[in-house]
Structure 1
């Protein structure tokens, strides 16, 4: 795998996207406020300022967010993270989990195009697996990654995207597309040097935030991604 010196499009020499790295909650999976509810359950006396921070950092590794919210008290942060994961798992088990409209068709469309698909998240592995099981997506994507799989560093660090690129054995990071609903998702893709970094408007952040983070494209939803990638590869 070679580095991509410039993550910009070159219409005279289109690059085939070999790997698509997709976020889960808010991008392919309907959130419906579940993340915020789990944060509120994890922290006593959850404040408006804390909620604002959670919304601003949506998409980042949850333990990283809890470290900030607990003034870097590692014991409190770890306990809160455990409580968060348990609360989110309960919500998933109660049936509060569904694919976003068009997400399953997009995943199938990407596979039909011959692309490798990886799902990434800021959740713990157990929570990620619960979501996949609830949706019946275990065999719909090639593999999944969470921060624990890459040494604990989540978004906006590039680790999960680069680990996915290595696992998929792509020819270049220019052949990687990243899509997510948060500024952290976009920064992750940019930090990894992905050729396409698409923001989607089905989750936490709006067009302005996604563009400010460096999105190469902003889409109404992930449903538009297969057509976008196909169009980019048309000479």
Structure 2
């Protein structure tokens, strides 16, 4: 059966955003008298959305009476400034999206990043028209790894689950694909909490993004 929809995670899969997320987080910490944290430590927290990252971080470095809402508001202000400024797409990302769509394969961005930050990032990298569907972490009642997220993407795009592959960098992505009943593909360069992505058991590991398009086009031509 051909692949009619390929969905991609965003942070750590298509774009290296660790630096800009970490900088926004550290500025927010400084605003509230808390010490900056090293980027590698913050990178380990990426994957469930920026607010989830900040809540985990505050649980480690802040006093119990910290005003969490105020810190989150500070983060949002700073992340608006840093989004799209300190990171870059991984090699071949734009080419891969273009090749898939040119071949008639629908492409979705399915991320746990809040929608407003997702749209800012897509705009900064010239991707506002690159996807047939964009699902942020606050688009639906649930987010990855809940089964409903990728199932919603399939319904929206009018394809069967067997015709969908999801590409991500973390166990969250692999589990989202498994839960939804779609193919789970992975890349090894992202933010899987410091663990090798193969430990999550993806169906296939790709070492470049263009290799994703190569396989889809090859399979669809068979």
CA displacement 1:172-191 (0-9 Å, x = unmatched): x1211111122222222122
Residues 27, 191 of structure 1: CA spacing in aligned structure 2 closer, same or farther, 3 A cutoff? Answer: same
Structure 2 residue 169 is matched with structure 1 residue 169: no
TM-score (norm 1): 0.78
Aligned 8 A contact 2:27 2:75 in 1: yes
**Aligned pairs for 1:58-137 within 5 A:** 58-71=46-59, 76-92=67-83, 95-137=85-127
RMSD of aligned alpha carbons: 2.9
Aligned 8 A contact 2:100 2:217 in 1: no
Aligned 8 A contact 2:9 2:169 in 1: yes
Structure 2 residue 13 is matched with structure 1 residue 27: yes
CA distance in 2 between counterparts of 1:216 and 1:115 reads 20
**What is residue 42 of structure 1 aligned with on the other side?**
28
Structure 1 segments of 4+ aligned residues over 6 angstroms from their partners = none
**What is residue 3 of structure 1 aligned with on the other side?**
none
Task: Tell which deviates more after alignment, 186-195 or 142-151.
Answer: 186-195
Equivalent pairs counted in the alignment come to 215
Residues 169, 90 of structure 1: CA spacing in aligned structure 2 closer, same or farther, 3 A cutoff? Answer: same
- Residue 32 of structure 1 deviates from its aligned partner by 5.2
Gapped regions of structure 1 (runs ≥ 5): 1-14
Secondary structure in 2 matching 1:33: helix
Residues 63, 207 of structure 1: CA spacing in aligned structure 2 closer, same or farther, 3 A cutoff? Answer: closer
Aligned 8 A contact 1:58 1:184 in 2: no
Gapped regions of structure 2 (runs ≥ 5): none
Structure 2 residue 197 is matched with structure 1 residue 210: yes
Secondary structure in 2 matching 1:117: strand
Secondary structure in 2 matching 1:177: strand
TM-score (norm 2): 0.82
- Residue 17 of structure 1 deviates from its aligned partner by 1.1
**What is residue 12 of structure 1 aligned with on the other side?**
none
CA distance in 2 between counterparts of 1:123 and 1:218 reads 23
Residues 47, 91 of structure 1: CA spacing in aligned structure 2 closer, same or farther, 3 A cutoff? Answer: closer
Secondary structure in 2 matching 1:106: helix
Residues 77, 136 of structure 1: CA spacing in aligned structure 2 closer, same or farther, 3 A cutoff? Answer: same
Secondary structure in 2 matching 1:148: coil
Task: Tell which deviates more after alignment, 157-166 or 212-221.
Answer: 157-166
- Residue 70 of structure 1 deviates from its aligned partner by 4.1
